[in-house]
Amino acid sequence: MTHVRNAAVALVALLLLVAGAWSSWNSAQHVLLAKGREHGTLAVTDCNDETCSGRYTPEDPSSTRRTLTIARSVAAEKGVTIPVVVKPGTDEGVRTGWGGGLHAWLPLGGALLLAAPLVGGGLRLRRTAWSLAGVGGAVLVAAFFAL
């Protein structure tokens, strides 16, 4: 019975981590693999509950200026200029640099924090749990200060 419980707890913890990584990769891929993508700055002019939009100025002078949207964060408010990379085929931007990279990995940081009590309590792997919690907390704190 103990093996079944351990397997179930390990499966739930693994599911949390995979979901966090999958969710993070949706934005992180554009920040980490930005070579060959369109770069520029976004001057935020309007924000709602979930997104901010504004005038996009590309680094490449031959590219067209247009309006882009970006996921709202604590650092995206009206009047701020943000360095972005454009998601291919869309009018959506992703913040670049350390702040953008850490912001993109926030779901994985949260998943690490959620999985830590399962690993520590359910699997009785205390050191591993503290490591997961430490890394997850570090991602969240670093993103807070980088933005």
Within-domain flag for 12: yes
pLDDT at 79: 87
Cα–Cα separations (whole angstroms), residue 133 to 43, 127, 143: 36, 10, 15
Residue 60's pLDDT band, with cuts at 50, 70 and 90, is confident
Asked whether the predicted pLDDT for residue 73 surpasses 80, the reply is no
Is residue 129 located within the same domain as residue 85? no
Residues 91 and 51 in one domain: yes
- Residue 10 pLDDT more than 90? yes
List the helix and strand counts (H, then E) for the chain: 4, 5
pLDDT value at position 74? 65
Say how many C-beta atoms besides its own lie within 10 A of residue 37's C-beta: 14
pLDDT tens per residue, range 106-128: 999 999 999 999 999 999 999 99
- Higher confidence at residue 136 or residue 88? 136
pLDDT averaged over every residue in the chain:
91
| pTM, to two decimals | 0.84
The answer to whether residues 50 and 84 belong to one domain is yes
Asked whether residue 44 is assigned to any structural domain, the reply reads yes
Domain match, 76 and 41 both: yes
| Same domain? 41 vs 91 | yes
- Which pLDDT does position 83 carry in this prediction? 92
Cβ atoms of 38 and 51 within 8 Å: the answer is no
Contact 74, 99 (CB under 8 A): no
Residues 120 and 76 in one domain: no
Residue 131 has a pLDDT of 97
Q: Are residues 26 and 40 in the same domain?
A: no
Percent of the chain with pLDDT over 70: 99
The whole-angstrom separation of Cα 3 and Cα 6 is 5
Q: Which residue segment(s) compose the domain that 18 sits in?
A: 2-30+105-146
**pLDDT average, residue stretch 30-42:** 89
* Nearest partner of 113 among 74, 140, 73, judged by Cα: 140
- Say if 100 falls within a structural domain: no
What mean pLDDT is predicted for residues 19-48?
Answer: 92
CATH number of the CATH domain containing 56: 2.40.50
